[in-house]
Structure 1
């Protein structure tokens, strides 16, 4: 056995010795190559197209970020120009002839001086080896590796994204891919690489076909950054759910047993006062953002103005000139992590804007703020203003004063502030609209005033500065606490004072219309009272439709394009109904902590719930959904070159415009919101606790009374009523058969449907007048007969889907980032 062990040792020694003798020096291996010195030295071989990396930092943690510098151009696919990808801490480890790129696991830690305790946690949870390199040369503790394959791989998961969106099966074609020298550069604290990648494959989807010159070859550019981590002087700040910040979290296994193992920190930039004792002080280093130089005027000036609003909040937190916005110099690269960026991004269709960040996972420090603004958003707001104003009357000129452009630019200022806010660490505050526009972190609907002569005024459509809540949140996150006796007390006082002033903070999940319950947190709304605001919105909609004519489009424009302007006008109430529906079965609450004196959850007052239900039912009356003949007669089928798009109404009558289809679409939006499974369950719970409260049975009875049991007029309005009735029936059956609904919800809904079925048969036999009415009743009866027998809908006519809604002028994906990392 000893002889065998000795033999093995000698073989290993001989192999290592041979490797050490055969491997060349870095100087010899790179002779004649183009050397670039910086954070990591690298060498470019023009002849072979290879890039060699010199690694001299072993077992030293650094930041690795991948991103996309040239994208696909489709909002639906989501692969945008200058899109950030993953950011992670890594380290290089030498293992004989190999170098491993290792990602440590920062979700589980032991913050202690006991090295053995630290090691026990490190060994307990998996790490990730991201890549393995073969050493091809070495010299004085440094090694050389071939980076080419690492840089030419699909680091941004383009192929995965395409497949997930049913856009085809694609993979990197190395024969059509190469390093991109223009985007490869070196600096003292960061090394940047870029590669042109071509993805080839099959079964290209419609979105790919719409944005690529040759659908089976998709060429993009991917960027890789290796960055020195910041020093240890950053001061993390504790997360508080009332403060409105994103955060990071981890488990600290060295925590005393009496304390929580879960640790939470907010994400924020580094900022300190030069003079901590001064009420207002210059910062040691300001936070500087850079605007994409490809942004055209007048949008460029509007974005600069809106982003600079944040200086108002930083001044409230005690700083002078702490937040600056400049145009990116031509010599800089937008994906260089040293630059906080506001990017102007083009896509083939309107879509989301984003505020994302590169964050140090150890501390929550934001290293790079990165905004992507969709360029078509400003045009959507312009279209909205055209619909509201019907501006193209004979003799009108907008050479000097263009109210549509002014409204669109006002919105883009607010959008710039909103998305930059996310990159400062801030989450949405969807309760701000009830606090006199207290935050740019809400989704603002345009505020449209009705003048005394019943015209629409857009002069105050969007706010013109930072809100009071924004000042509170920036003060919480960035206030210099250097000389304060207690940081915890100081920060708690910031939030306590805000609560005492009546400021509210409610974020994403609680504001979403799909089952949301909070009565004060909505998307795209204005005003303190959702019911009152819905009545106002319906009045604005009525005036816009009354004024709707050929003057909604410029001279020389195809008349068929009137539908493009009509859609957002006819569905102008779509966001306010989402807010109003949340009052039905609504629950008022806050993110209160024990001892902070905020009250616990309580049901929305019954009178308010019933008022909300009445307001919702007003949106599904024939009077509300009637499409005047004068509008229908203006809109011909689409001409050559102007094809149907998803921005238009779906239709049963192609190629003709379908007014009943538009009514069906609008009715389904209201009914779908009311018949949400969570809302229905809350109504059952509320009535069980107090029999005087609005219950699910009450709501269903009221809906049936205001739809199916209403007298039906002859002619067009009768057809609209029948359409509304079918929508209500479909949504009720959908609720009754929904496996996600509680058994009591399904039981109550089935009871009401059974009563409706019996009534339909009797009404059709004894009281129905006119063929349309009788046909409608018999159709409903037969559907409910099948439903009764099968327990599910059998071959129903599904309601028409509405055209895309958000973003009407803002929205973003940061809701997806709200979970702690």
Structure 2
């Protein structure tokens, strides 16, 4: 038993010790293992190789940048030697939904133009927008300040994937950039987003259509689909899909030598502020926009010989253009060849049909290397001539003339209305094809003028005496205005019986003059400043001839020069409009026989009657422009005469009298029962009041009245606001002194006169000027006159009308009662 107990005791002592020893040994082994265990190395990050992106499955298009497409992703291979180089990025709409922009936006419309540069920053490639609004010579200290205060925005930062095998170019993935809604290159401007209540771009329905690279440019076509609550068409889809074309073109390494703008000759311009100037302020510079025309043979050109340019201006016709119209469009371009000969260049501009697929499989109308004339399937009645230019020099790079399909209908209608009285071939809805073609030719010539850098010149139609427009020999030689760039479309002055009249506009002497001034190379001048002396001489040689006057287009209250009015012809607005209205009266009498009697429906009659009222209103507006008019003659101090010349008092009074007789008096010739009762059930009085109010409000406009008041400072004899408003009040309320009934048209006009006076009294400009006093005085006189007239009014409605006018005047003069 003792032995057994001893064994158990020994076992109890030995076993724990052994177990503990085993545990210690185990911990020791584990510790040892832990100490000797070497951590597994992390896998090295694989350095991307060029072959990971560009390999056998890649489609490569070589050009300005090599463009690679691999597994649905697009990569730009950007050469290092092009980093920092200036390029032009042009965003256009290639295809659009119906109704986008209210009909005045079309396939081919330019949305944005910006100068960009590619720059490397660490592991990124940055796309920046460069501005030329502020510049300085980079060798001057102030250049640093210009850069610091004009930090260039970054459109996008691309991760650098790798370099090409010889490390001469950087590879970036551009897929996300072109497939996302990047606002800087979006085809949907902010105003469209607001109008159509655009919520977002749907990436599942948006993608890159194609990217093509050419030697000097890259063209990207994107398809974008937006969710929109108020799309312009197909509204049940809540969707807008547009196709956008991005053109990136290399700008010339050496910019064209610019030509300094002179406001005496009309040109579109580019502007910048030059801080390199030695003057006491930054020098605002303005250069004209023009194509780079350089003579192939400079020596022959310097001798005065006609020389072809190194690179002519070529326009390609849209293949969608109807065949019967192509020759007229081509003529509209080619007509400028003679004009460029005045500047010393032959074959300087031409129109061609685009090459076939066989001739050039890569030709595209969206390729910015090519200028085009697009034929747009749209109900809009318009044509435009936009262009793209280098902001550094004004060099025009490319342009696209846009012709809307329905535009010829406007020309047919106006041809009938404005020339039908004196022109038998215009008295039809089926205008002869050759005459329609001639109209189209001149519209294209006008738009080409814009694309050459020429803005509207509204003074050119004032250059010719009114009666010369009734002369066959004169109009056949000189047309109806001194330039195609005026809005003088038709000869509405010529009267029945005048012989051999040209009724359609054409290019004129000012076109030759302005192209010579803008495009003739001056071989002896090596800087823009060195050209100025010669350019001045050319202007001053023509300085006193109205044929060579440039008049800027102004609209609304900003218009003050009666010699630069849109749509007018002749140097006497009252005389020209008298002829025009006389012709319209003949047209109005025959409108039914020329339209509804021929078609057996009233649609054309309704359309043309509405346009007849617009033509009549336009003629009236030309006369209104004389009142308070100030002619502008841009001059330098070396030229004689003043820049601003007030229209003589007698002419202004003549204009007011014309308006009283031809606008504010009821025009019964416009109120044919046979027309009105066949086109509208009602609205006759409202329509006529609208025409009258247009001229009434224009006359009683604060800007016009202030010009008339300011004439007191410089003129011995002037037509004052007091006298004009008195003449107007007497004429508009002439029945009050004659015991005559007032017809419904005149009652409406008289109420409108009183209400317009109320508006003028409440304007801030009137409160502290004579205008407040004049209006109060004229309304007081009118109230007294109407009190007497209301007591002897012939019929009841006239009596009620006068009492109503008196009540309105009381409220104006004493609003507290």
Same structural fold, with TM-score higher than 0.5 when normalized by the shorter chain: yes
Aligned twin of 2:384: 354
Is residue 230 from structure 1 mapped to residue 231 from structure 2 by the alignment? no
Aligned twin of 1:652: none
Q: Is the 8 A contact 2:134 2:272 kept in 1?
A: yes
Is residue 595 from structure 1 mapped to residue 638 from structure 2 by the alignment? yes
Aligned twin of 2:487: 443
Structure 1 residue 773, shift from structure 2 partner: 1.2
Among 510, 519, 544, which residue is 1:469 paired with? 510
Q: Name the TM-score, length of structure 1 as normaliser.
A: 0.83
Structure 1 residue 438, shift from structure 2 partner: 1.0
Q: Is the 8 A contact 1:135 1:145 kept in 2?
A: yes
Give aligned pairs, total. Answer: 736
Cα distance 1:267–1:390, how it changes in 2: closer, same or farther (>3 A)? closer
Q: Is the 8 A contact 1:162 1:170 kept in 2?
A: no
Aligned twin of 2:265: 243
Aligned twin of 1:424: 452
Aligned twin of 2:610: 567
Aligned twin of 1:767: 792
Q: Is the 8 A contact 2:726 2:778 kept in 1?
A: yes
Aligned twin of 1:53: 76
CA distance in 2, matches of 1:19, 1:616: 91
Among 67, 79, 83, which residue is 2:105 paired with? 79
**Superposition pairs for residues 637-716 of structure 1, below 5 Å?**
637=680, 656-687=681-712, 689-690=714-715, 692-710=717-735
Among 567, 576, 580, which residue is 1:533 paired with? 576
Structure 1 residue 146, shift from structure 2 partner: 2.3
Is residue 186 from structure 1 mapped to residue 228 from structure 2 by the alignment? no
Structure 1 residue 368, shift from structure 2 partner: 1.0
Among 449, 468, 479, which residue is 2:520 paired with? 479
1:169-226 CA distances to partner (integer Å, 9 max, x unpaired)? 3432222212223xx322111110011111222144xxx14xx475621111111111
| Greater alpha carbon shift after TM alignment, 427-436 vs 328-337 | 328-337
Aligned twin of 2:660: 617
Structure 1 residue 671, shift from structure 2 partner: 0.9
Q: Is the 8 A contact 1:247 1:267 kept in 2?
A: yes
Specify the SS of the correspondent of 1:264: strand
CA distance in 2, matches of 1:716, 1:389: 37
CA distance in 2, matches of 1:328, 1:243: 34
Cα distance 1:249–1:101, how it changes in 2: closer, same or farther (>3 A)? same
Q: Is the 8 A contact 2:754 2:805 kept in 1?
A: yes
Is residue 135 from structure 1 mapped to residue 157 from structure 2 by the alignment? no
Structure 1 residue 561, shift from structure 2 partner: 4.5
Q: Is the 8 A contact 1:159 1:199 kept in 2?
A: no
Is residue 42 from structure 1 mapped to residue 67 from structure 2 by the alignment? yes
| Greater alpha carbon shift after TM alignment, 396-405 vs 473-482 | 396-405
Among 145, 162, 176, which residue is 2:172 paired with? 145
Cα distance 1:771–1:27, how it changes in 2: closer, same or farther (>3 A)? farther
Aligned twin of 1:370: 400
Specify the SS of the correspondent of 1:503: helix
Aligned twin of 2:136: 110
Is residue 731 from structure 1 mapped to residue 756 from structure 2 by the alignment? yes
Is residue 493 from structure 1 mapped to residue 524 from structure 2 by the alignment? no
Among 324, 328, 332, which residue is 2:350 paired with? 324
CA distance in 2, matches of 1:149, 1:157: 16
Cα distance 1:433–1:421, how it changes in 2: closer, same or farther (>3 A)? same
| Greater alpha carbon shift after TM alignment, 546-555 vs 84-93 | 546-555
Specify the SS of the correspondent of 1:241: coil
Structure 1 residue 636, shift from structure 2 partner: 4.6
CA distance in 1, matches of 2:705, 2:572: 22
Q: Is the 8 A contact 1:515 1:582 kept in 2?
A: no
Q: Is the 8 A contact 2:741 2:795 kept in 1?
A: no
Cα distance 1:322–1:421, how it changes in 2: closer, same or farther (>3 A)? same
Is residue 307 from structure 1 mapped to residue 333 from structure 2 by the alignment? yes
**Superposition pairs for residues 263-412 of structure 1, below 5 Å?**
263-275=285-297, 276-279=301-304, 280-330=306-356, 331=361, 332-350=363-381, 352-387=382-417, 403=431, 405-412=433-440
Specify the SS of the correspondent of 1:780: helix
Q: Is the 8 A contact 1:73 1:79 kept in 2?
A: no
Specify the SS of the correspondent of 2:302: coil
Aligned twin of 2:277: 255
Specify the SS of the correspondent of 1:82: coil
1:19-63 CA distances to partner (integer Å, 9 max, x unpaired)? 996441232223312211111111224x54x32222223222222
Cα distance 1:293–1:618, how it changes in 2: closer, same or farther (>3 A)? farther
Aligned twin of 2:473: none
Cα distance 1:542–1:362, how it changes in 2: closer, same or farther (>3 A)? same
Aligned twin of 1:806: none
| Greater alpha carbon shift after TM alignment, 751-760 vs 583-592 | 751-760
Among 58, 65, 90, which residue is 1:33 paired with? 58
CA distance in 1, matches of 2:433, 2:765: 46
Q: Name the TM-score, length of structure 2 as normaliser.
A: 0.83
| Greater alpha carbon shift after TM alignment, 420-429 vs 728-737 | 728-737
CA distance in 2, matches of 1:601, 1:175: 61
Q: Is the 8 A contact 2:461 2:486 kept in 1?
A: yes
Question: Where do 5+ consecutive residues of structure 1 fail to align?
Answer: 1-17, 638-655, 793-821
Among 563, 567, 577, which residue is 1:524 paired with? 567
CA distance in 2, matches of 1:341, 1:407: 24
Structure 1 residue 255, shift from structure 2 partner: 1.8
Structure 1 residue 677, shift from structure 2 partner: 1.5
Q: Is the 8 A contact 1:290 1:342 kept in 2?
A: yes
Specify the SS of the correspondent of 1:232: coil
Cα distance 1:750–1:128, how it changes in 2: closer, same or farther (>3 A)? farther
CA distance in 2, matches of 1:195, 1:239: 38
CA distance in 1, matches of 2:732, 2:724: 12
Structure 1 residue 503, shift from structure 2 partner: 2.9
Question: Where do 5+ consecutive residues of structure 2 fail to align?
Answer: 1-41, 465-480
Aligned twin of 2:778: 752
